[in-house]
Amino acid sequence: MRRTTARMADGRELIYFDDVTPDRVPPPDTRDLPQVQTGSIMRYDVLTGEWVAIAAHRQDRTFLPPADACPLCPTRPGRPASEIPAPDYDVVVFENRFPSFAQGIADVPAEVDGDPLWPQRPATGRCEVVCFTSDHGASFGALPVSRVRTVIEAWADRTAALSALPGVEQVFPFENRGTEIGVTLEHPHGQIYAYPFVTPRTGQLLEQAAEHRRRTGRDLLGDVLDAERKAGTRIIREGEHFTVFVPAAARWPVEAHLVPHRPVPDFPALTDDERTELAELYRDLLHRFEVYFSDAGPPPYIAGWHQAPVRTGRDLTRLHLRLFSLRRAPGKLKYLAGSESGAGAWINDALPERIAQRLREVGP
């Protein structure tokens, strides 16, 4: 894999990650772009103990352009100049033009309305776009394993770099796929958020893991993995370094977790052998999701890579994937209605053991 850096016309960083190691000379970005302006703020919700980011400038972001005007495709003759000035690429990472979190945001008053009940601060962090392929019509599950490995290398590179930024507490690579999810660009891509706080889901996991260690002296995710492998009924695939399974208390009708056998905190900590196996297992899992819903078109899904926070609780959790689809059956979506959205009380429409069986059956 070869890494080449460049700058966009407005000063944003752009990085090429090539599958092989040719000498790449990045072409200049000749567009006339204004400097990115962002005024994102964070306000503290005293009722939940969570920070809420407010990024009003994102209302103006690009929304489902036609394929011949896609800003994530390569820049080629006869097409508008895109975010990537090269005529072709393997994997590209660049700073988001419409970030929820960014560097250099101006200070804001420490309190909303001058009331200490509502603390607020700049939403300092960074948001990056990860383009998995130059092929607009492709999908992650259809990529060759070698390309998936390049994406993993990009995730590891960016996790290390973003973790070193001042104020960053957690780095979260993820992919949203499908208009049902709310995707605004259909080109195969994901994002990386570098948050200035530990996200609520990770915070809950750390609390559970700390209590489990206090009671048992053991690692919570390690015990979950051991229990799933012992039961076997929800296992989809097992490798030397990773296991893929449907969790016993799955929230979504179709959900799978991919967990390493050793307590590795994040992508940079993976060995070469682990990265190689992860590329094969992850591609296989996405392919199974696509075959599972093959009679209903490409499945909408969210793939979130949960890594240990940068500074706290790194010994309490480990890198793991949580992949789920909003589709509960062909032509039917799982809507988050009163119980889930209103009360936060999840009700699953499917039996995890049956979903695991089906995901095993659709494999090669």
In angstroms, the Cα distances linking 279 to 23, 241, 317 are 25, 12, 21
Phi/psi of residue 51, nearest 5 degrees: -85, 140
* Nearest C-alpha neighbor of 242 from the set 275, 286, 205: 275
Which of 57, 189, 261, 320 is an active site residue? 189
Residue 154 and residue 16: Cα distance in Å, rounded? Answer: 9
Encode 49-96 in three state secondary structure: CEEEEECHHHHHCCCCCCHHHCCCCECCCCCCCCCECCCCCCEEEEEC
Q: Estimate the crossing angle of helix 145-163 against helix 272-292, to 10 degrees.
A: 120
Is residue 287 annotated as a catalytic residue, yes or no? no
For 251-331, where are the E strands, in sequence order?
A: 254-260, 301-306, 320-325, 327-329
Is 136 among the annotated ligand-binding positions?
A: yes
Amino acid at 286: L
Is 131 among the annotated ligand-binding positions?
A: no
Residue 64 and residue 139: Cα distance in Å, rounded? Answer: 17
Is 320 among the annotated ligand-binding positions?
A: no
User: Looking at the DSSP assignment, which residues form a beta bridge with residue 102?
Assistant: 124
Strand, helix or coil at 175?
Answer: strand
In angstroms, the Cα distances linking 81 to 26, 75, 343 are 15, 5, 46
Binding-site annotation, residues: 70, 73, 136, 187
Q: Which residues are catalytic?
A: 189
